[in-house]
Chain A
Amino acid sequence: MAKKPKQDKQEVSTTGHTWDGIEEFDNPLPRWWLWVFYATIVWGIWYVIAYPAWPLVNGATAGYKGWSTRGQLEERMTEADAANAEINAKLASAELTEIPDDPELNAYAVSAGGAVFRTWCAQCHGSGAAGVQAGGYPNLLDDDWLWGGTLDDIHYTIANGIRNDEDPDARWSQMPAFGDILDSESIDRVVNYVMSFSGEPRDAAAASAGEEIFLNNCAACHGDAGGGDIYQGAPNLADAIWLYGGEYETIRETVTNARFGIMPPMGGADLSEAETRAVAVYVHQLGGGM
């Protein structure tokens, strides 16, 4: 076989451009590159017909495939729902208190419940579930529960809500506004007495004078020792936790005008049974579950 002829660069014509004596060869485009380029043109035309492409006044051309990001999201949500259908059915039908004993179901409930919580509950209770004391939104991480901290209690509260008009089964209780019942001095005494349950009252003399007022007016719901009553949603006044705050002014405001915290019912229209159960399991395992 003869030697391959050496390509003589002089045979290739130049573009005629010269910069400082440097000439530019006028070599043809590589053929593979050219064909890829043509292929991209064909593909581009197809793409414009197939997918949303031309911007018009009220949106873009739809494309014959009818593809859209919203449609894609919907499709994937449907897929995800279908994939979770089995475990959701299991979650909805299982005995509530036995869910934590099933590792697989529990892991799913905690994970799904976390997502539900961040979507539906975090607005009031905070993304970390620590609540907002200024608004009277309870902290869900501690061991103090207004209406009970068992899984069943939590689930009932989530499903039916508190003091709302939408759900006839909502938990309901109301503290009278003692500003209409007691005079200012009596309120001062009872507030000092309440403060003495868990710490130092502002005025020790007033506190001891407030005991009788407390027993006559408050003990029916909050208990003789201020321990509260979860069956009436009456807060424990003797522990270290205050729903609205433990300062004299805050307690005085509570006694004078009462409080009326509302929680909407999440069961039914908003969340499915599997979702309310999932979020109950999630809240229960945050640290305070009984």
Chain B
Amino acid sequence: MADSQPNAPQSLYAAHEPVFPRKVYGKFRNLKWVIMAVTLGIYYLTPWIRWDRGPSLPDQAVLLDLAERRFFFFWIEIWPHEFYFVAGLLVMAGLGLFLFTSALGRVWCGYACPQTVWTDLFILVERWIEGDRNARLRLHRQKKWDVRKVRLRVTKWLAWLLIAVATGGAWVFYFTDAPTLLIDLFALDAHPIAYTTIAVLTGTTFFFGGFAREQICIYACPWPRIQAAMMDEDTLTVGYREWRGEPRKNSEEVRAGAAQGDCIDCMACVNVCPVGIDIRDGQQMECITCALCIDACDDVMAKIGKPRGLIDYMALTDEARERSGELPKPVWQHIFRPRTILYTVLWSAVGFGLVFALFMRSNIDLTVAPVRNPTYVTLSSGEIRNIYEVRLRNMKNDASRFKFSVKGDPTLVITLEGTPYTSVEVAPDEMRLQRVYVTAPPNSAPARAESTDIRIWVEDTGSGTRDFKDTVFNGRGQ
């Protein structure tokens, strides 16, 4: 590197500067604690919720059964051919992200993103063990690894590792029966994939939450780049009322005798920032809008007897209005705009569509594949037979008997391979492949015709649920 830059002797690499966020109190911090408790609670506890589905199915409320290719979600059971439900949920998640971002900026990043939640948890643990910002800074700068530093660091890493193992451990419970797997994990009987998954997730959690932290948001995550396209001048983001705060204390203007603004340059907003930026420089890509600087500044403003909100949620349009002495728009006007209403409508439309599809779906699923090689078979009696391969899914919890019938021409007769009856039993939650024969008498219309449109019906003899598929019957064509 140095050869190409003879005039730049010092290294151009800037080492990462660790961030040591200070403890902060306030309404946004409290909101973040609540959200952290709720999201972590959902993550860790969900696999342990039981849901009785009868003897042949798992009793775990939320289960991604990869081996059996089923997704269980409380009373809903999704089969692979119904994967469009998952696609629909992803579309909803996307639209939801658009909605929240256009209304509230990077509210996902600041409050609910796993990277933020786990980093917050890791910083909390770090603060318990090593102390607040100043103590941690001192420990960081202390070159000598004395007993105290080693003890603190090892304790912290062990605590992090414990959280990381629990995080990776909870993940695998979503994929198989949680109580059984827990016992197997401790008995060293679990599948190697379970251990590998836990190991990988433990490693990533430990590294991302303990060391990478804000660098994931700044360098690895695409969302900060995309947000620029999702936000507009009415989006609420965290901002600094520069026209009220400047010139700040200690600035050259103030030293030269200018009247001081509200900012006393106490650096509270910088010290609490988990991504290590100065919000007073304006909106910037690194900011995850966690609002901790708002809490920190409000605290200081209260102490010096100034109104709160020097740093606050605001939109770009508010800045112009406030600078010209007007009042900012009320919050609801920022949130209820044509754009956000459109997103809400789209989001609800997909949601209603999915719910509708969920209630309308039949618990029989039928596919009929006519055998085309050959198109028909002549029997010794001269009858013409067509063969169909029928896949029949019984998506119920108990075995059902399904009766076949054919419509299209009164002379057609339906028979099944392997049974003299026209009905077959399909085990609960199973798919059955059945060869079905439709036979036409020697000189009947369908036997002579090139092809005849027919409809194969399947009826669940227990519940009376019916389903059909349209197909064709091929004749001799003469």
Contact = CB atoms under 8 A, between A and B. Distances in A.
Nearest to B8: A13
A285 B418 contact: yes
Given A3-B278, A287-B435, A239 B13 contact: no
Nearest to B277: A4
Contact of A239 (B12, B278, B380): B380
A287 B371 CA distance: 12
Contacts of A87: none
Contact of A12 (B12, B372, B378, B387): B12
A98 to B, nearest CB: 13
Interface in A132-185: 139, 141-144
B69 to A, nearest CB: 17
Interface stretch (A24-32, A41-49, A259-267): A24-32
A12 B13 CA distance: 12
Nearest to A126: B373
Contacts of A142: 377-380, 385
Contacts of A143: 379-380
Contacts of A269: none
A1 interface: yes
Given A1-B270, A28-B1, A287-B387, A139 B13 contact: no
Given A128-B374, A240-B381, A27 B12 contact: yes
B437 interface: yes
Given A13-B5, A287-B387, A287-B437, A240 B379 contact: yes
Nearest to B383: A240
A244 to B, nearest CB: 15
Interface in B395-425: 417-418
Given A142-B378, A240-B378, A128 B371 contact: yes
A68 interface: no
Contact of A144 (B8, B271, B380): B380
Contact of B271 (A1, A126, A285, A286): A1
A26 B4 contact: yes
A232 B322 CA distance: 106
B469 to A, nearest CB: 20
Given A13-B8, A100-B418, A128-B371, A139 B377 contact: yes
A26 B7 CA distance: 12
A127 B380 contact: no
A17 to B, nearest CB: 12
A240 B418 contact: no
Given A12-B12, A13-B5, A287-B435, A241 B380 contact: yes
Contacts of B8: 11-13
Contacts of B7: 13
Contacts, number: 71
Contacts of B4: 15, 26
A236 interface: yes
A130 B13 contact: no
A218 B4 CA distance: 101
A96 B442 CA distance: 34
A255 B270 CA distance: 105
Contacts of A240: 378-382, 442
B5 A127 contact: no
Given A141-B387, A285-B417, A287-B435, A239 B381 contact: yes
Nearest to A107: B433
B278 A127 contact: no
Q: What band does the interface of chain B fall in when counting residues whose beta carbon is under 8 Å from A?
A: 20 to 34
A80 to B, nearest CB: 19
Interface string B425-452: 0000000000101000010000000000
Interface in B1-38: 1, 4-5, 7-8, 12-13, 17
Most central of A15, A241, A285 by chain B CB within 10 Å: A241
Nearest to A110: B433
Contacts of B417: 285, 287
B422 to A, nearest CB: 16
A287 B386 CA distance: 10
Most central of A4, A11, A29, A198 by chain B CB within 10 Å: A4
A31 B13 contact: yes
B267 interface: yes
A127 B437 CA distance: 19
Nearest to A130: B374
Interface string B360-399: 0000000000011110011111100101000000000000
Given A1-B271, A13-B5, A128-B371, A141 B377 contact: yes
B145 to A, nearest CB: 24
Contacts of B435: 285-287
Interface in B248-271: 267, 270-271
B212 to A, nearest CB: 12
Contacts of A128: 371-374
A99 B62 CA distance: 39
Contacts of B387: 141, 287
A139 B380 CA distance: 11
A91 B1 CA distance: 70
Nearest to A2: B267
Contacts of A130: 373-374, 377
A141 B374 contact: yes
A12 B278 CA distance: 24
B33 to A, nearest CB: 26
Interface in A248-290: 285-287
Interface string A103-144: 000000000000000000000001110100000000101111
Contacts of B442: 240
Contacts of B379: 142-144, 240-241
A144 B380 CA distance: 6
A144 B372 CA distance: 20
Interface of B: 1, 4-5, 7-8, 12-13, 17, 267, 270-271, 278, 371-374, 377-382, 385, 387, 417-418, 435, 437, 442
Interface of A: 1, 3-4, 11-13, 15, 26-29, 31, 100, 126-128, 130, 139, 141-144, 198, 236, 239-241, 285-287
Given A12-B8, A141-B377, A142-B377, 13 more contacts: A12-B12, A13-B8, A28-B12, A128-B374, A141-B374, A142-B379, A142-B385, A239-B381, A239-B382, A240-B379, A241-B378, A241-B379, A285-B435
8 contacts: A1-B267, A1-B270, A26-B5, A29-B1, A127-B373, A144-B380, A240-B380, A240-B442
The 4 A-B residue pairs whose C-beta atoms are closest, nearest first, are A128-B373, A239-B380, A240-B382, A130-B374
